[in-house]
Structure 1
Amino acid sequence: MALSFAGLCLAGQGAVIPAKAVLAQVLLERAFAKSRSTGAPVKAWPWADAVPVARISVPRLGVSEIILSGGSGEALAFGPTLVPGSAPLGQNGTAVVAAHRDTHFSFMQHLQPGDVVVVETTDGDRASFRVQGGYVVRNDQFAIASRAVAPTLVLSTCWPFDATTQGPWRYVAIAHAQSSR
Structure 2
Amino acid sequence: MKKYMSILLIAAGLVLIGYGVWKVIDTGKKTEQTLEDAKLAIEHPQKVDQDRFKPKFGEAVGILEIPKINAELPIVEGTDADDLEKGVGHYKGSYYPNENGQIVLSGHRDTVFRRTEELKKGDRLKVLLPYGSFSYEIKKTKIVDKSDMSIITLQHDKEELILTTCYPFSYIGHAPKRYIIYGKRV
TM-score grouping bracket, smaller chain normalisation:
0.7 to 0.9
* Equivalent residue number for residue 125 of structure 1: 132
Given the alignment of the two structures, is residue 114 of structure 1 paired with residue 122 of structure 2, yes or no?
A: yes
User: How many angstroms apart in 2 are the aligned matches of 1:139 and 1:40?
Assistant: 39
Secondary structure at the counterpart of residue 128 of structure 1 = strand
* Equivalent residue number for residue 64 of structure 1: 72
Kindly indicate whether the alpha-carbon contact (under 8 Å) linking 1:159 and 1:170 is maintained by their aligned counterparts in 2.
Answer: yes
The within-5 A match list for 1:40-79 is 50-79=58-87
Q: 1:38 to 1:130 in 2, by over 3 A?
A: closer
Given the alignment of the two structures, is residue 27 of structure 1 paired with residue 48 of structure 2, yes or no?
A: no
Secondary structure at the counterpart of residue 25 of structure 1 = helix
Where in structure 2 are there 5+ consecutive unaligned residues? Answer: 1-6, 49-55
Kindly indicate whether the alpha-carbon contact (under 8 Å) linking 2:63 and 2:72 is maintained by their aligned counterparts in 1.
Answer: yes
The within-5 A match list for 1:70-149 is 70-121=78-129, 123-144=130-151, 145-147=153-155, 149=157
Which residue identity lines up with residue 129 of structure 1 in the other structure? Y
User: How many angstroms apart in 2 are the aligned matches of 1:22 and 1:113?
Assistant: 28
How many residues are matched? 171
Which residue identity lines up with residue 136 of structure 1 in the other structure? I
Match of 1:12 among 8, 18, 40: 18
Percent pairwise identity: 23
Kindly indicate whether the alpha-carbon contact (under 8 Å) linking 1:25 and 1:79 is maintained by their aligned counterparts in 2.
Answer: yes
User: How many angstroms apart in 2 are the aligned matches of 1:112 and 1:130?
Assistant: 10
Q: 1:166 to 1:128 in 2, by over 3 A?
A: same
* Structure whose CA Rg is larger: 2
1:94 positional shift: 0.8
Which residue identity lines up with residue 119 of structure 2 in the other structure? L
Which residue identity lines up with residue 143 of structure 2 in the other structure? V
Given the alignment of the two structures, is residue 173 of structure 1 paired with residue 181 of structure 2, yes or no?
A: yes
The 4+ residue runs of structure 1 with deviation greater than 4 A are 1-8
Where in structure 1 are there 5+ consecutive unaligned residues? Answer: 42-47
